[in-house]
Amino acid sequence: MDLDAYQRGALRTAASREKKNELLHLVLGLVGESGEIAEKFKKWVRDLDSDESRIDRDDLAKELGDVLWYVAVLADYLDLSLDDIAVGNLAKLADRQNRGVLGGAGDNR
């Protein structure tokens, strides 16, 4: 599946852009789902001694799917193509790698 196809599919379950505070809902949803992933890893460190063999990959795949849904719908709300975002991100990272600043700090390196 390509990313734009996923984005179109995600929109079938999204609320209308006209819904009050929908943009804020999407941003907070993305942060919340990302936080759920962090929480799972916190418990993995705390309770499972960071044993990689005990990572619940199926559960994390579901949470990553929720993050992907919010990214896709938020991008559409902002009139951005998920394919274009992905291509631009890879180009940005390749440029940083070529210039030897992949591991540096700051957005505009």
Task: Give the model confidence (pLDDT) of 63-91 as tens digits.
Answer: 999 999 999 999 999 999 999 999 999 99
0.85 exceeded by pTM: yes
Model pLDDT, residue 106: 78
Segments of the chain scoring below 70 in pLDDT:
none
Give the tokens for residue 49: 């001694």
Model pLDDT, residue 104: 76
Q: Using CA atoms, how far apart are residues 104 and 85, in angstroms rounded to an integer?
A: 21
Closest to 1 measured CA to CA, from 68, 90, 92, 76: 68
Model pLDDT, residue 108: 80
Q: Using CA atoms, how far apart are residues 62 and 74, in angstroms rounded to an integer?
A: 18
76 Cβ partners below 8 Å, 6+ apart? 7, 10, 11, 14, 82
Q: Where are the domains of the chain?
A: 3-79
